[in-house]
Structure 1
Amino acid sequence: MDTSAKPTAAAQDELATLDALLAQRDWWDQFYANRAKPVPFFGPEPDECLSGWLADGIVPRAGAALDIGCGNGRNAVLLARCGFAAEGIDYSQAAIEWAGQRVREAGVTVRLHHASVFDFDLAPDSYDLIYDSGCFHHMPPHRRDDYVRLVAAALRPGAWFGMACFRPEGGSGLSDDEVYERRTLGGGLGYTEARLREVWGDLFNIHELRQMRSQPAGSGLFGEAFLWALLAQKKG
Structure 2
Amino acid sequence: MDRNIRSVDDVLKLMDSLFAPGADRWTGGAGTWWDGFYADRSKPVPFFVAKPDESLVSYLDRGLVAPGRALDLGCGPGRNALHLASRGFEVDAVDLSPGAIAWAGERAHEAGADIRFHCGDAFAEDAPAGPYDLVHDSGCFHHLPPHRRVSYLAFVDRVLAPGGHLSLSCFASGAMGSELPDADFYREAGLQGGLAYTPESLRWIFSELTEVELRRMRDEPADSPCFGEEFLWTALFRKAR
Q: Do they fold alike, i.e. is TM over 0.5? A: yes
Aligned residues of 1:171 and 1:187 also touching (Cα < 8 A): yes
CA distances 1:70-124 after superposition (whole Å, capped 9, x unpaired):
0000000001001111010001111111111111111111100001111144576
Q: Give 1:185 deviation, angstroms.
A: 0.8
Give the Cα–Cα distance (whole angstroms) in 2 for the partners of residues 58 and 65 of structure 1. 14
Give the 3 Å change call, closer, same or farther, for CA 189–125 of structure 1 in structure 2: same
Distance 1:120 1:68 in 2: 15
Amino acid at match of 1:20: S
Q: Which runs of 4+ in 1 moved over 4 A?
A: 122-125
Aligned residues between the structures: 227
Q: Match for 1:67 among 57, 68, 72?
A: 72
Match of 2:157 in 1: 152
Aligned partners of 1:18, 1:94: CA distance in 2, in Å?
Answer: 27
The structural deviation recorded for 1:186 is 0.9
- Equivalent residue in structure 1 for 2:145, among 140, 160, 163: 140
Please name the residue that 1:21 is paired with. Answer: 18
Report the equivalent of 1:12. Answer: 9
Q: Is the 8 A contact 2:118 2:128 kept in 1?
A: no
Separation in 1 of the partners of 2:74 and 2:131? Answer: 18
The Cα RMSD (Å) is: 1.5
Q: 2:48 is matched with which residue?
A: 42
Q: Report the Cα distance in structure 1 between the residues aligned to 2:151 and 2:17, rounded to whole angstroms.
A: 17
In structure 1, list runs of 5 or more residues that go unmatched: 1-7
What letter corresponds to residue 86 of structure 1 in structure 2?
Answer: V
- Give the whole-Å Cα distance in 2 for the aligned partners of 1:37 and 1:125: 34
Tell me the distance in 2 between the aligned counterparts of 1:120 and 1:134: 22
Q: Kindly indicate whether the alpha-carbon contact (under 8 Å) linking 1:45 and 1:222 is maintained by their aligned counterparts in 2.
A: yes
Answering whether residue 91 of structure 2 is matched by residue 86 of structure 1, we say: yes
Structure 2: distance between partners of 1:15 and 1:107: 40
Q: CA deviation at 1:217?
A: 1.4
Q: Provide the rounded CA distance (Å) in 1 between the counterparts of 2:189 and 2:15.
A: 9
Q: Percent identity?
A: 46
Higher normalized helix content (fraction of residues): 1
What is the rounded CA distance, in whole Å, between the counterparts of 2:180 and 2:112 in structure 1?
41
